[in-house]
Chains A and B, each alone.
Chain A
């Protein structure tokens, strides 16, 4: 098991290396000049050239990439934001907590709502509950997050006044954004859980459990669910990646000071170090979640052994 985790962690290194190249090329080849964007026409040609020189923009890309990699891996320096002149790593670490809490709570909602509604839908197949559930998931999947966020804000914050409209500070601030973010994922999990449970319900061992005289609730929540969850976990893991992307939008809507707004500001001002660091971080997150999903298989499915 430990061996497996270690091997998987080592396997991440080449992947991350490739991602640094892609991220580097992506930011440097995108049209737009960070110095022009920041200072506009205020500076004359001479100062402009000086600044380009001091930032190293005039060097060949390969040299710039080498310098970037050297600073990051040997010095542990992710660079400074062009805009704020502060260390990218400090800022990322500070904001990471916000995004982390937001995505974890969203995932919690998504799994809680998704698995529960999915099971109810499957066991009460073709009933009114099932139909309402299925229509709701289609709706939730079709609604763009920013609009859904604004509607949540309008109803629960402005009209009813139960929650603050935006900002951060307390747990209450977290409720609306996390629900907004979790809803789309919940819808996907509902559909997945439903079809998975329906499939497992047809299995012979479910009939065996009933023939033992087991209660229907135990049959569903223990015998069926343990088996039905295996594909759901895979999908939920992939959805986590989607959640990271969704967080960028939702953070913007609710003025949540996480990485999302940092990334958007970074892209708008061509803040190369910020964009590169965040792409790398999101990729790393995705890889780690996939690893966690693979590890969780071992607990769900006894046939999987980590050799």
Chain B
């Protein structure tokens, strides 16, 4: 395997949100990286901090109440957190772009599709309107929109959800970004449309060699799309590994629980497994493992000491006391 450099390198990122006078760490010291041309899946339940992490990369955390309290977000070797707003604007939509969960509401209803793609092109490129128009139509063609010249003049309400998400992808890729953050891009779509959008994203990734940070709670989508996976729980990374290991040799009880909750077509069961309990509100667990209350393999130690990220093998880490002695896992951070 050739050494590819990291496009994105997040270290010890902590994001706090103020709520009723108290500051809670919604994201608590997470670290991960994305290599050039790689698709990284970020998996977790709602409220685990996935979306906040992605917004922090874009510098779009609503502040107040949110703020980045600690850590670095290095993009191509430069810490984005040091960037001024004006410099950050040159990164957004240009070098890093983002597509969102809700295609129905993510496009501005009063502007034409063409105008909304042109906007990002004109912001980041030296081109005139007619060049932008040609490029927009080209982009619409690229994301598989039929009759692009006509759709160019249409308004969002005239398009279906799947078509709108294609337009969002066109906007996202218009300036050939190095990193595309996709925040649950298929969650709001019908299953058949989901498959179409995923195929489209995979095709485009091969064509453009853009790195993708794919945020989802759907492990099926992860298997389909990703090279590596970060599993997040309550603002922390609990497991990080390549996608094969995730499905064949998962370690963390939470990951096991997630995998166990997927119905299998080959087995007939009375009742689908589910992880008991609920995600604790961010910042409410003061000591010990955050998953302890819901864990099937909980030990006394889990309630008193924070588990560190342990190295299982090269490129596979897991935050669980189960593996502290037996595997001889080396502590990576605490």
Contact status of A302 and B157, CB under 8 A, knowing A204-B105, A212-B119, A213-B120: yes
Q: Tell me which residues across on chain A come within 8 A of B58, comparing CB atoms.
A: 211
Q: Which residues of B contact A207 (CB under 8 A)?
A: 60, 100, 106
The tally of residues in A whose CB lies under 8 Å from a CB in B reads: 19
Q: Taking the complex as formed, is A221 at the interface, i.e. its CB lies under 8 A from any CB of chain B?
A: no
Of the residues B108, B110, B123, contact of A208 by C-beta under 8 Å: B108
Task: Enumerate B110-149 residues with CB–CB distance to A below 8 Å.
Answer: 110-112, 119-120, 123-124
Contacts of B112 in A (CB 8 A): 302
Interface residue A203 (Cβ < 8 Å from any Cβ of B): yes
Q: A208-B168, A210-B92, A211-B97 are in contact. Are A303 and B123 (CB under 8 A)?
A: no
Scan B297-311; emit 1 where CB is below 8 A from any A CB, else 0: 000000000000000
- Report A-chain residues with C-beta under 8 Å of the C-beta of B123: 212-214
Of all chain B residues, the one with the shortest Cβ separation from A230 is B110
Partner of A303, one of B92, B157, B168, B171: B157
At the interface, yes or no: A226 with Cβ under 8 Å from chain B?
yes
> Does chain B have a CB within 8 A of A227?
yes
A208-B100, A212-B92, A303-B157 in contact; A203/B105 too (CB < 8 A)?
yes
B-chain residues with CB within 8 Å of residue A285 when the two chains form the complex? none
Docked pose: A68 CA to B193 CA in angstroms: 68
CB of A301 within 8 Å of the partner chain: yes
B89 touches A208 (CB 8 A): no
> Beta-carbon contacts of A51-62 to B below 8 Å, as 1s and 0s?
000000000000
Contacts of B155 in A (CB 8 A): 302-303
Alpha-carbon distance A207/B51, docked complex (angstroms): 13
A25 at the interface (CB under 8 A from B): no
Interface residue A300 (Cβ < 8 Å from any Cβ of B): yes
Within 8 Å of chain A (Cβ to Cβ): is B288?
no
Interface SS, A side: helix
- Are A208 and B107 within 8 A (Cβ)? yes
The reply to whether B109 and A303 form a contact with Cβ atoms under 8 Å apart is yes
Given A204-B102, A210-B60, is A215 in contact with B89 using a C-beta cutoff of 8 Å?
yes
- Cβ of A209 within 8 Å of any chain B Cβ, yes or no, is yes
Docked CA distance A76–B60 (Å): 65
B97 & A205 in contact (Cβ 8 Å cutoff): no
Q: Is the CB of B109 within 8 A of A302?
A: yes
With both chains docked as a complex, state the minimum distance between the C-beta of B93 and any C-beta of chain A, in angstroms. 4
Flag whether A83 is at the interface (Cβ < 8 A).
no
> A223 within 8 Å of B by Cβ?
yes
- Interfacial chain A residues near B92, Cβ < 8 Å: 210-213
Chain B residues whose CB sits within 8 angstroms of the CB of A203 once the complex forms: 105
Given contacts A215-B89, A303-B157, contact A209 B110 (CB under 8 A): no
Per the bound structure, the CA–CA distance linking A62 and B281 in Å amounts to: 76
Known contacts A204-B100, A302-B157, A303-B155; is A211 also within 8 Å of B60 by CB?
yes
Closest chain A residue to B59, Cβ basis: A210
Given A207-B60, A213-B94, 15 new contacts (CB under 8 A) = A205-B108, A205-B109, A208-B100, A208-B106, A210-B60, A211-B58, A211-B60, A211-B92, A211-B93, A212-B120, A213-B91, A213-B123, A213-B124, A223-B108, A226-B110
Interface residues of B (CB under 8 A from A): 58, 60, 89-94, 97-98, 100, 102, 105-112, 119-120, 123-124, 155, 157, 168, 171
11 contacts between A and B (CB under 8 A): A204-B106, A207-B100, A207-B106, A209-B119, A210-B60, A210-B92, A211-B92, A212-B119, A213-B120, A214-B123, A227-B108
